Amino acid sequence: MAEPNHKLHVAVFPWLALGHMIPYLQLSKLIATKGHTISFISTPRNIARLPKTPSINFVSLPLPHAVDNNLLENAESTTDVPETHIGYLKKAFDGLSEPFSEFLQASKPDWIVYDILHYWVPPIAEKLGVRRALFCTFNAASIIVINGPSSIMINGRDPRKSVEDLMDPPPWVPFETNVAYRPFEARRIMEYPTAGVTGAELNDSYRTGLAYAGSEVIAIRTCTELEPEWIQLLGEIQGKPVIPLGLLPAKATDDDVDDDIIEWLDRQRAKSVVYVALGTEVTVSEEEIQGLAHGLELCGLPFFWTIRKASVFLPDGFEERVKGRGVVRAEWAPQGRILSHGSVGGFVTHCGWGSVVEGLSFGVPLIMFPCNLDQPLVARMLAGMKIGQEIPRNERDGSFTSVSVAETIRVVVAEEEGKIYRDNAGSMQKKVFGDKRLQDQCVDSFIKFLENQRAGM
């Protein structure tokens, strides 16, 4: 623990998405356990969504709802709005710059740890003498492939202008890699509403470029044991020190766990259950949901599926046909508690980095169904490590068959051919994702950097 006169006051300010707020909260808890003061900044509804943590001071900044902004009433996070309206959320978020400045002036933290869309945070902090750390909640490989050098992002000079360009690693990656998009994924990236979103004044590339450029250090949710060459390259590309924070896995708790979930899991054979969850913000078509459902029906294994709008998208009679073998839950489920259960033997995931970390922290091999943005890149990296297998898809249009879903699930969870995935996932749990000592070392290194640099304005 740091000496009393070396205590830091660190303010953290994540983007308005649960996939960002949760790792920021986990980092905050770990820093607070070392005796430092944490101010966690967000909006009232988002703070209410987060678990109460006595060691952290939550700072509530009401989100402005301007008359000329079409943001839905009471919408304060990406889960509250459709994908096409996230631009309105960004516009409202930019209205927090003045109350944020007032908070910094009043509280005078040593450091502000901020997110990749917070382009206006660095100039405010610098003016007020607050040190600046950018915390990226993604893995290094995905960040590099998506973003590139900050100068390119700010000036709009990304040389990748076509679907074909995105199918190869970018020119700033000097080594061979399979981390790239397939044709249908590249097309989705080109169509994704990051630039010119209705209501957004700046595109994501410009915002992110300024966030990188204004930082003094880049913290990242990964570790050198997982992707050493990518971490080194990130520092070279951005011209900043890069500190891996570890994977920041959340602990599985019994809070709010329904007894019926655990009782059902307890009745299943060890390592036999397929857990299915495609994230809270991923857009999956009705056709894709039905294909996955038929695949689960065909695989013959017990499954627990957390899905939104189940009654709308699932095939007619599906739940009746799989009754007893499969559970479909159209509401929140305790993902960490389910993944940690001994009966779970495979995880059908969209490959959001947070979900991947959670699954592998319990040694569960992955059946990968990436959808958009960083998810396909994460899937390529993990497939190369043989921690899981992607569900085969038509590279041109992204279509797939229910038979391929069933076969992939059975290989990863039950068949001898998939033993390598199960063994590698277990090994990764022990050596990286579930190694508490490694996690503590990463956070300690970050804290030491903050302490050493605090006075070096």
CB-based burial, 171-203: b 16+ in 10 Å, e otherwise: eebeeebebbbbbbbbbbbeeeebeebebbebb
pLDDT, mean of residues 25-42:
97
- Cβ-based neighbours of 453, under 8 Å, separated by 6 or more: 131, 216, 217
Q: Is the pLDDT of residue 197 over 90?
A: no
Q: For residues 449 and 388, is the Cβ–Cβ distance under 8 A?
A: no
> What angle do the packed helices 286-299 and 402-413 form, to 10 degrees?
50
Beta-carbon neighbour count of residue 455 at 10 Å?
8
Q: Is the pLDDT of residue 2 over 50?
A: no
Q: Is the pLDDT of residue 254 over 70?
A: no
Q: How far apart are CA 215 and CA 159, in angstroms?
A: 24
pLDDT, mean of residues 120-124:
99
pTM for the whole structure: 0.93
The C-alpha angle with vertex 82 and arms to 77 and 88, in degrees rounded to 5, equals: 65
pLDDT, mean of residues 241-268:
86
Instruction: Give the pLDDT score at 456.
Output: 58
Instruction: Give the pLDDT score at 408.
Output: 99
Domain 4-248+435-453 has CATH 3.20.20.370: no
E strands present in 175-278: 217-220, 242-244, 273-277
Q: Where in the chain is the domain with CATH 3.40.50.2000?
A: 4-248+435-453, 259-433
Q: Is the pLDDT of residue 52 over 80?
A: yes
Q: What is the pLDDT of residues 379-400, one digit of tens each?
A: 999 999 999 999 999 999 999 9
The C-alpha angle with vertex 447 and arms to 438 and 354, in degrees rounded to 5, equals: 55
Strand order in the sheet with 242-244: 57-60, 37-42, 9-13, 111-114, 131-136, 217-220, 242-244
**Largest Cα–Cα separation, the chain:** 66
What's the topology of domain 259-433? Rossmann fold (3.40.50)
Q: Among residues 61, 89, 58, which one has the least CA distance to residue 73?
A: 89
What confidence category does residue 195 fall into, taking pLDDT thresholds of 50, 70 and 90? Answer: very low
* Alpha carbon separation from 385 to 25, 142, 179, 427 (Å, rounded): 29, 15, 12, 11
Q: Among residues 26, 33, 27, which one has the least CA distance to residue 7?
A: 33
Q: What is the mean pLDDT of the chain?
A: 92
- Alpha helices (runs of H) in 226-277, residue ranges in sequence order: 228-238, 259-266
Instruction: Give the pLDDT score at 250.
Output: 80
Q: Is the pLDDT of residue 411 over 50?
A: yes
Residues in the chain: 457
Q: How far apart are CA 32 and CA 244, in angstroms?
A: 18
Instruction: Give the pLDDT score at 457.
Output: 46
HSE, side-chain direction, 13 A CA sphere, residue 362? 25
pLDDT, mean of residues 110-122:
98
Q: How far apart are CA 191 and CA 163, in angstroms?
A: 10
E strands present in 43-191: 57-60, 111-114, 131-136
- Cβ-based neighbours of 97, under 8 Å, separated by 6 or more: 120, 124
Q: What is the pLDDT of residues 296-313, one digit of tens each?
A: 999 999 999 998 765 568
What confidence category does residue 164 fall into, taking pLDDT thresholds of 50, 70 and 90? Answer: very high
Q: Is the pLDDT of residue 421 over 70?
A: yes
Q: Based on C-alpha coordinates, what's the Rg of the chain? A: 22
The C-alpha angle with vertex 170 and arms to 164 and 173, in degrees rounded to 5, equals: 150
Instruction: Give the pLDDT score at 5.
Output: 57
Q: Is the pLDDT of residue 4 over 50?
A: no
Q: How far apart are CA 157 and CA 151, in angstroms?
A: 8
Q: Is the pLDDT of residue 194 over 60?
A: no
Q: For residues 280 and 76, which has the higher predicted lDDT (pLDDT)?
A: 76
Q: For residues 192 and 208, which has the higher predicted lDDT (pLDDT)?
A: 208
